[in-house]
Amino acid sequence: MTQPPQYGYPHQPSSAPLPPMTSSPVSTPSAPRPVSSLGGNFTPRRPPWRRPAALIGLVVVLLLAAGGWALWSFTGGEPSKPKGANDAAHAPAAGSVAWLAEARVKPDEGMRQALGTWFTSTLVVKAEPDVVTAYDVRTGEKKWSFLLTGSLCAASRESEGDVAVIAVMFGTHCMNLKAIDLRDGHRVWDELLMEEKEAGDNLDPRKWGKSGPRLALYDGHVYTTWKDGEQTRRLSDGKRVDQRKQDACEWADTAGGKQLIAVTYCGASEIKLRSLDPKKLDKPKWNSSLKRNDGFVSVISTDPLVLSQSPGMGGESSRYDFVVLDPATGKEKARVAYNSYWRLGACFLSTSGCTGALADKGSNSLYVAGQGVTMAYDLTTGKERWTYKSDANRVTVPTAVRDGKLATYVPATAERRGRLDYVSTTDGKVARVVEHSDAEKDRKNESMMAKVTFPRLVNGRLLLVVDGGVGSDQDGMIMAISAPDA
The residues with which 386 forms a beta bridge, in sequence order, are 376
Torsion angle defined by CA atoms of residues 480, 483, 485 and 486, in that order, rounded to the nearest 10 degrees: -140
- Indicate the average pLDDT of the chain: 80
Structural domains in the chain plus CATH codes: 21-482 (2.130.10.10)
* Predicted local confidence at residue 301, as pLDDT: 92
CA atoms within 13 A on the CB side of 383: 3
The residues with which 149 forms a beta bridge, in sequence order, are none
Nearest to 474 by CA among 17, 105, 11, 3: 17
* Predicted local confidence at residue 144, as pLDDT: 98
All residue ranges of the chain with pLDDT < 50 are: 1-72, 76-88, 314-316, 349-352
In terms of Cβ atoms closer than 10 Å to its own Cβ (0-12, 13-18, 19+), residue 437 is buried
Distance of CA 193 to the CA centre of its chain: 22
* Predicted local confidence at residue 265, as pLDDT: 85
User: What sign results for the dihedral spanned by CA atoms 169, 450, 314, 396?
Assistant: positive
* Predicted local confidence at residue 64, as pLDDT: 27
Asked whether the beta carbons of 103 and 466 are under 8 A apart, the reply is: yes
Residues 431-483 have pLDDT tens digits of 999 999 999 999 999 998 987 777 999 999 999 998 888 877 778 899 999 99
Residues 204-248 have pLDDT tens digits of 998 888 788 999 999 999 999 998 899 999 999 999 999 999 877
Residues 6+ apart with CB under 8 A from 64: none
* Predicted local confidence at residue 85, as pLDDT: 45
Residues 6+ apart with CB under 8 A from 65: 6, 10
